[in-house]
């Protein structure tokens, strides 16, 4: 039963890292989209 507990903890850590990575990717994508919109508006003004 000890091995099952260790496996479960490892599985939870892997999923936590995966979801943390997804959050950082989503944040970066949002920032890039904002930057693209800002640049588009600057090009449109000139």
- 1-46 per-position pLDDT tens digit: 678 999 999 999 999 999 999 999 999 999 999 999 999 999 987 5
Question: Does 25 reside within a domain?
Answer: yes
User: From the DSSP assignment, how many helices (H) and strands (E) are in the chain?
Assistant: 1, 0
Rounded to 5°, the CA angle 2-7-11 comes to 150
Question: Does 3 reside within a domain?
Answer: no
**Read out DSSP for 18-39?**
HHHHHHHHHHHHHHHHHHHHHH
Question: Does 36 reside within a domain?
Answer: yes
**Range of the structural domain that residue 31 is part of:** 18-46
Q: What is the distance between the alpha carbons of residues 19 and 25, in angstroms, rounded to a whole number?
A: 10
pLDDT of the residue at 14 = 98
Domain count, the chain: 1
Question: Does 8 reside within a domain?
Answer: no
Question: Does 42 reside within a domain?
Answer: yes
């Amino acid at each position: 039963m000890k091995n099952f507990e260790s496996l479960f903890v490892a599985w939870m850590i892997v999923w936590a890292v995966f979801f943390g990575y997804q959050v950082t990717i989503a944040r970066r994508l949002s920032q890039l989209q904002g930057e693209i919109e800002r640049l588009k508006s600057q090009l449109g003004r000139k």
